[in-house]
Structure 1
Amino acid sequence: MSRRKWTAEEKMNIVLEGMAPGANISEVCRNHGIAQTLYYRWREAFLQAGLSGLSAGPSTREQQLEKEL
């Protein structure tokens, strides 16, 4: 049996499905055919990337708009 390749968008959607209020992680994982450990690994990566994205400085577009003002 070969391993499934998940796109970043598919992973994000599965993680968000599991983070929805009242979501059952076991059921989400079973529906998508993934192990719970894999779900939690994806969720941790998603949250860490989100944290670093929020802690980053203003984007170059934001800097350009500020210069124009």
Structure 2
Amino acid sequence: MAIVLEGIKGTKSVADICREHKISQALYYRWRDKFLEGGKKALNNAQVDDNVYRAEREKLQKIIGKQAIQIEILKKQKNC
């Protein structure tokens, strides 16, 4: 990961980084692509999680609303 980040920073050329770490440029670019894809997946999952939480929150709000109505009905019945 450190090698990929070093290349992304752009302070050194990819060729210099690969020479320094004794890896091929092809390997570096495979690692970089996997790294970037993993980041994309992580961010997409965060959006999915937000949608799941939003749906669950709406479901619970409906339940609470129904219970509040039932409580009001029971209070009215008790007062009659």
Instruction: Give the TM bin, normalised by the shorter chain.
Output: 0.5 to 0.7
2:32 paired residue among 14, 39, 43? 43
Report the number of matched residues: 50
Tell which structure's C-alpha radius of gyration is larger. Answer: 2
TM-score by length of 2: 0.56
1:32 paired residue among 6, 9, 21? 21
Aligned residues: CA RMSD: 1.7
Shift of the alpha carbon at 1:23? Answer: 2.3
- Percentage of identical aligned residues: 42
Which stretches in structure 1 are left out of the alignment for 5+ residues?
1-11
Q: Which has the higher contact order (CA 8 A, sep 6+)?
A: 1
Structure (1/2) with the larger helix percentage: 2
TM-score by length of 1: 0.64
Q: Give 3-state SS (helix, strand or coil) of 1:30's partner.
A: helix
Which residue does 1:18 correspond to in 2? Answer: 7
Which stretches in structure 2 are left out of the alignment for 5+ residues?
58-80
Structure 1 counterpart of 2:15, one-letter code: S
Structure 2 counterpart of 1:33, one-letter code: K
CA offsets, 1:41-60, max 9 Å, x none? 0000000000000110348x
CA offsets, 1:12-49, max 9 Å, x none? 10000011133200000000000000000000000000
